[in-house]
Amino acid sequence: MTVTAPNPAPAAEVPESSSTRLVDRVFKMRELAILVVFLVMIGITQAGNSEFLSEQGIKDLLLNATILVLVATGQSLVVITRNVDLSVGSTLGITAFATGTYLQGGGNAVIAILLAVLLGVGLGLVNGLLVSLGQVPALVVTLGTLYIIRGVDSIWVGSRQITAADLPGGFVDFGSGGLSAVPWLALIALAVLIVTAYYLKHFGSGRELYALGSNPEAARLAGIPVRKRTLAAYTFCGGLAGLAGAMYLARFGNVDSGTGTGYELTVVSAVVVGGVVFTGGSGSVYGAALGALLLTSINSVLPALGVSSVWVLAINGILLILAIAVDRIVALRVATALKKRNARHA
């Protein structure tokens, strides 16, 4: 057994790595296509409304996308591992209210943001422990924690509401300020995005997330700490949801018990539309960010063109279905291409 055991591994790894490279090339082209669609959409809107790309218009576009980009970045890591976190909207809501409550008492803004991140990390850690150690399906776990966190938030908040008047002026100004048309919040989201993308590409533990999502059993046999990586992905996702909660408060200055309700579906849509395959193992955080930018821009584009905003949800649903259909078509074509390639080599 000790002589023959190593032999199957190389043979199994060759098609897997070839498949990964082929899928990555396809989805890079898909990310480019999303960028082109976004630019064309913005160009058409600008042609119909010359004020759309004013300095304030650009600032609003970026501010609208910032929160979703942050949460989608964290969600991407979870989806890459072939899991999902449906509790991000509830986490955003409760961390936003916690931040506001601390600031109401005269707390420091930087400490408030750090506390929001830590609270998000703790909630993500609970999800990760249940999924990785408890071996409970991610959909079931995070659906349960979605309702638990939302219930705790509703009991804690009650009928109270935090408004901009209750917050330090500097914190609110930070949420709407920036360098010309580029908001501070957008720069924070961009920094998080770049660091996360660099980690996934250049660190072994980041690349192991893709291996885990591609084939969990093979990853386990290859010595990858599957439970540890899954736990890390959920913890990171929770931390970014917590950061997004603090940024949400700075951006809107208004939080109540309904904050973040339904947000998890928008996040999943942005991730999938951006090319992160829902079955795991492929995609990038840049694609997820582009998906978030595309979905949030639709909310601004339709009113600017005089189209009713009731079409926004329908368009988001259509984009999600198209993205899933494209993922399925790509998977089938990649499998066919690999079979032909293996047959030629044989």
pLDDT computed for residue 14 by the predictor: 35
pLDDT at 190: 95
In contact, 288 and 273? CB cutoff 8 Å: no
For residue 244, give the amino acid letter.
Answer: A
- Give 325-341 pLDDT, tens digit per residue: 776 676 666 667 656 76
Query: Tokens 């009991």 belong to which residue?
Result: 155
CATH code (residue 28): 1.10.3470
Measured between its terminal Cα atoms, the distance across the chain in Å is: 26
Grouping H, G, I as helix, E, B as strand and the rest as coil, residue 283 is: coil
Residue 174 domain-assigned? Answer: yes
Q: Which of 130-139, 171-180, 318-327 has the least mean pLDDT? A: 318-327
* 16 in any annotated domain: no
Cα separation, 28 vs 287, whole angstroms: 8
Torsion angle of the four alpha carbons 315, 319, 48, 287, in this order, in degrees rounded to the nearest 10: 140
pLDDT over 70 (residue 223)? yes
Residue 9 lies in a domain: no
Domain span at residue 114 reads 22-345
**Model confidence pLDDT, tens digit, residues 22-66:** 555 655 677 787 888 888 888 888 887 777 888 888 898 899 899
Q: Which two tokens stand for residue 303?
A: 């009113």
Locate 53 and state its tokens.
């790309």
**Domain assignment present for 127:** yes
* Total residue length of the chain: 346
Distance, CA of 64 to chain centre: 15
Q: pLDDT digit string (tens) for 80-117?
A: 999 999 999 999 999 999 999 999 988 899 999 999 99
| Alpha-carbon separation of residue 69 from 76, 84, 254 (angstroms) | 10, 16, 20
Total count of domains within the chain: 1
Residue 243 lies in a domain: yes
Is 10 domain-assigned? no
2: pLDDT confidence band, cut at 50, 70 and 90? very low
pLDDT at 155: 93
Identity (one letter) of the amino acid at 295?
L
As a whole number of angstroms, the distance between CA 149 and CA 179 comes to 36
Residue 297 CA to residue 277 CA, distance in Å, equals 22
Q: Say if CB 100 and CB 167 are below 8 A apart.
A: yes
Percentage above 70 pLDDT, the chain: 85
- Residue 343 above 90 pLDDT? no
The residues facing 183 across adjacent strands are 178
pLDDT above 90: residue 322 = no
Q: Residue 252 class from Cβ within 10 Å (0-12 exposed, 13-18 middle, 19+ buried)? A: middle
Whether 125 maps to a domain, the answer reads yes
Stretch 148-164: mean pLDDT, rounded?
91
Residues in CB range of 194: below 8 A, 6 or more apart: none
In a domain, 15, yes or no: no
Instruction: Convert the pLDDT of each residue in 36-47 to its tens digit.
Output: 888 888 888 888
